[in-house]
Structure 1
Amino acid sequence: MSELKRIEESQPSGEATSSSTSSTLNSTLNNSITSGSGQSLTSKGTVVAQRPWFKRLFPHLPDYLGPYPVGVHDIETPPNAAKNTKGVLIRLYYPTTSAATKAHSRAKWLPKGTLYSVGYGNFSKLPTILSLAFIYPLLAGVNTPGYLNAPLRHAGKGDDSPPPLPTRLPCMIFSHGLGGMRTTYSTFCGNIASQGFIVAAIEHRDGSAAVASRNAYKEKIRYRHPNNDHRKPGETVDEYLLRFRRSQVEVKAGEVKEVMQLLMDLEAGTAIENLMATKRTKGFEGQFTGRFDFDNWVMSGHSFGGATCLTALQDPSNPFKCGIALDPWMHAVSDAHHVGKPFISVQSENFQWKTNLDPLADLFSHTESSSKSRFGVLRGTAHQDVSDFPALFPGLMKRIKLSGAGDPIRALQLYHEWHLQFLKEELETEVPFGDYPGFEKESKDRPKEIVEGKEAFDMLYGSIRHDWGR
């Protein structure tokens, strides 16, 4: 079996779910997702977190970490032949007011319950009947801390205590990994928005989402698994997989450009057709006119979305100021020798192999912005710890080895603080993110949890196991 094929089959749920993981999911969905005492355990059985009993009864997401409440709003644009656009679907995360949280309900984590629960199940190779019987009941009641269609917070002093915001807010585009969609990383995106950013999370339609919707949920785009029968004559498995995944990245990078244009239209006050609009939300997008700070534009993504992030940063026509690439899947990056913008790449400890790490090390040694770019590892984490799943199902995710030995809530906090420190260095904005009690306070445990620079590369190379043929 080729190395790339082994990698495809051994990826955690972000890159291809193995049959062993699928069977484990089948056997554990009936079991409790946390220990009876509510304690989250490391692989050695050490208690690392404890949830209140009422939050252990059902899957639950942590509150956002910033000072501003967060609103969310979905936008889907139709294809436009005149503009040569295919249409995109995004979820906007943005700061709102405390008053709005009393007038609006929290957004569901599954925007369309049965569609996305079956999509997640199909991606994990579960029968549809199990998805409907177990995944849907577990996830249908999960709310995010964001408030659906709450208004964008006005500039200046609000009705509550957080610092006043400027008129224009920095913006971020987020690209999900394989098997994700626009709410899979709601904690990551909402945490950034709670600091005063506008975040656009894309639901990609290249076949990399667990399932993607089109035409206001009337159509669905299923996840596309690689198919060796689609190889060209004389093409090896590795060559086919590279062509297949890189063609998807090209589509995703094109969607990033389309989202950029959508946000610029919102900024300019250009009327847009939102297929997700209702009578209550008609004209909702008008409040975003004049509110984007495109001098402080950030690209971000996880795994396959991390590859999309780096690809977008390589395009000189994209006006991104910097980027955040989380566990980027480097096989999907066509040119791993140059990124013209500074970026931070935070790796999980348990998602590493030499053929992925080598191009990343090469990128940091050759890129023009390497002096400003940062590389590091968050100890005790696995590939999915930046997504919402470990926070929702801490016990289950540890059992199937898709979450690391540490506390997933603590991991999300550290990811957030690390990214904010980088953004504070790179952006020139009046948004006072980080300027509140607690942000600058150093944790005594942080040096044990975070490894940076050459030490991080050395640690990862030292931990790599060459056991793909096992």
Structure 2
Amino acid sequence: MPFKLPICEGVVHLPKGTGRYTVGCIDVFTVEHESKLPLLFRLYYPSSDKCDSSRWPLWLPDPKYAESYVEGNFQYSPAFKSFLINTGIYNFQGKMLRRLTSNPVVPVNEGSKPDGERFPVVIFSHMLSACRTTYSFLCTDIASQGYYVAALEHGDNSASIRMMMSSPDSKISWRSIKTLPKGANETELRARQLKYRTSEVSQCLDSLVSLDNGILQDLFIKYSETLSVNHERIGLESFKGKLEIENCIIAGHCMGGCTTIRTLSLDARFKGGVAIDSWMYPVRKDEIDFDKKKLLFVNMEKWQFAKNLKCMVRYESSLAGELKTNVVSLKNDTHYSPTDHLIALQNCFLGKIVAGVLGKPDPDFSSFQNLLAISELVHGWIKNRLCAETETYLTTCRKYKGRVLYGIKTPEE
């Protein structure tokens, strides 16, 4: 049967995490000062509270995210964009996207209490034209296994749109994606963005260290407007001593994949990384200054192309025994498979058409099954890197035998 989003109490929502823990979330901002960048990340975490659908936040936290998704994927000239705004078509596009996806809620308890245990940390970096909620299921699923997951909303003008706040009481402003004219050379822009992104990742880890130590003056929470004032809201002090900072992983999709690679080269605190369908252009000339066995590539077969794979070969590593290689591909998967896009668009006929434009997955394997496979591979690799335990990862590879392809094969081969 075709996959459809589940419904709880009449509300459409993304699938729940498959792990043992209820998941909570908060949106955390940092204050910009001196040489520090202003950050925004959504923190997913194991919660001691019961699942409560009245606390679940919207997948698109503000109408501007819907509008920016459309703009980021369909680049307009300034004149044409002005025309769309003046005629009302621009705002209509965002409304249409919210209608096509049902703008589901994310099954995580906003502002709920963190579990009493300590858990390792994963920082997640998004693709171009995405935001902190683009991978809500993937981040929720990983957190439900027993991890703190910080999903960044990058401030380098690569996000579909970035929410900006300078203090808890300040007004919201917005930073839009920077697009290039068709055919323009993107080397300088991508180099600048990648430098900014890797700084954000390291400073995000610094902020999580501060959170664990109870040093909170540069951090603040913004709760969504949909959360009832009657709900109890935790403060940042609730996380003191709860984050296993000494065990941290970096992961990311597309440009987030090359952000993962560059971060492993620059910040030795990360014990491993997962580059999901990584775009290699920004790191094509990088010196490889880390143990390649720390890194796993999870590629989507339908998106990878010869030039990208030839660059990836430089980072490929043979692994011992049944692990074989640090590069695996999911057969017939598309570039948007790691995101929530494909599953969110499958609730109506027109949405399925839009999903088809983003790439048609294997007809024998639903978009949600693809997403689960990606999540399980990521979790398995995290266990491998943090616990020197390979069985979780290998079990996943065996489970999807026939769909997991090993190593890099360019078209010439």
Distance of 2:377 and 2:113 partners within structure 1: 29
**Which amino acid is the alignment partner of residue 96 of structure 1?**
S
- The equivalences for 1:384-395 within 5 A come to 384-394=336-346, 395=352
Q: 2:400 aligned with 1:446, yes or no?
A: yes
**Which amino acid is the alignment partner of residue 376 of structure 2?**
E
Query: Which residue number corresponds to residue 369 of structure 2?
Result: 410
- The equivalences for 1:254-265 within 5 A come to 254-265=199-210
Distance of 1:109 and 1:325 partners within structure 2: 24
- The equivalences for 1:321-332 within 5 A come to 321-332=271-282
- The equivalences for 1:12-411 within 5 A come to 39-40=1-2, 50-51=3-4, 60-81=13-34, 84-99=35-50, 101-102=51-52, 105-112=55-62, 114-125=63-74, 127=84, 128-139=90-101, 141-155=103-117, 168-215=118-165, 218-227=172-181, 240-277=185-222, 284-315=235-266, 317-333=267-283, 335-341=285-291, 342-364=294-316, 374-394=326-346, 395-405=352-362, 406-411=365-370
Query: Which residue number corresponds to residue 226 of structure 2?
Result: none
Task: Answer whether contact 1:336 1:363 (CA < 8 A) is retained.
Answer: no
**Which amino acid is the alignment partner of residue 312 of structure 1?**
T
Report the 3-state secondary structure (helix = DSSP H, G, I; strand = E; otherwise coil) of the residue aligned with 1:359: helix
Distance of 1:340 and 1:276 partners within structure 2: 35
Report the 3-state secondary structure (helix = DSSP H, G, I; strand = E; otherwise coil) of the residue aligned with 1:321: strand
Distance of 2:47 and 2:158 partners within structure 1: 31
Distance of 2:396 and 2:325 partners within structure 1: 22
For these two proteins, the number of residue pairs brought into alignment is 376
**Which amino acid is the alignment partner of residue 78 of structure 1?**
V
Task: Answer whether contact 2:66 2:95 (CA < 8 A) is retained.
Answer: no
Change over 3 Å in CA distance of 1:428–1:133 after alignment to 2: closer
Distance of 1:178 and 1:53 partners within structure 2: 28
CA-based RMSD of the aligned residues comes to: 3.1
Question: Offset of 1:54 from its aligned partner?
Answer: 5.9
- Deviation string 1:273-299 (CA, Å, 9 cap, x unpaired) is 445446988761112111121221100
Distance of 2:280 and 2:208 partners within structure 1: 28
Report the 3-state secondary structure (helix = DSSP H, G, I; strand = E; otherwise coil) of the residue aligned with 2:108: strand
Unaligned runs of 5+ in 2: 77-83, 85-89, 224-228, 347-351
Change over 3 Å in CA distance of 1:397–1:63 after alignment to 2: farther
Query: Which residue number corresponds to residue 426 of structure 1?
Result: 385
Change over 3 Å in CA distance of 1:442–1:118 after alignment to 2: closer
Unaligned runs of 5+ in 1: 1-38, 41-49, 156-167, 229-236, 464-470
Question: Offset of 1:182 from its aligned partner?
Answer: 0.4
Report the 3-state secondary structure (helix = DSSP H, G, I; strand = E; otherwise coil) of the residue aligned with 1:427: helix
Question: Offset of 1:266 from its aligned partner?
Answer: 0.4
Task: Answer whether contact 2:5 2:343 (CA < 8 A) is retained.
Answer: no
Query: Which residue number corresponds to residue 35 of structure 1?
Result: none
- Deviation string 1:123-177 (CA, Å, 9 cap, x unpaired) is 132851332431234457410111111110112xxxxxxxxxxxx2110100000
- Percent of aligned positions with the same letter in both sequences? 23
Question: Offset of 1:428 from its aligned partner?
Answer: 2.9
Task: Answer whether contact 2:284 2:311 (CA < 8 A) is retained.
Answer: no
Distance of 2:173 and 2:19 partners within structure 1: 36
Question: Offset of 1:259 from its aligned partner?
Answer: 0.6
Task: Answer whether contact 1:96 1:151 (CA < 8 A) is retained.
Answer: yes
Distance of 2:172 and 2:356 partners within structure 1: 36
Task: Answer whether contact 2:43 2:148 (CA < 8 A) is retained.
Answer: yes
Change over 3 Å in CA distance of 1:396–1:285 after alignment to 2: farther
TM-score using structure 1 length: 0.73
Report the 3-state secondary structure (helix = DSSP H, G, I; strand = E; otherwise coil) of the residue aligned with 1:143: coil
Question: Offset of 1:347 from its aligned partner?
Answer: 0.3
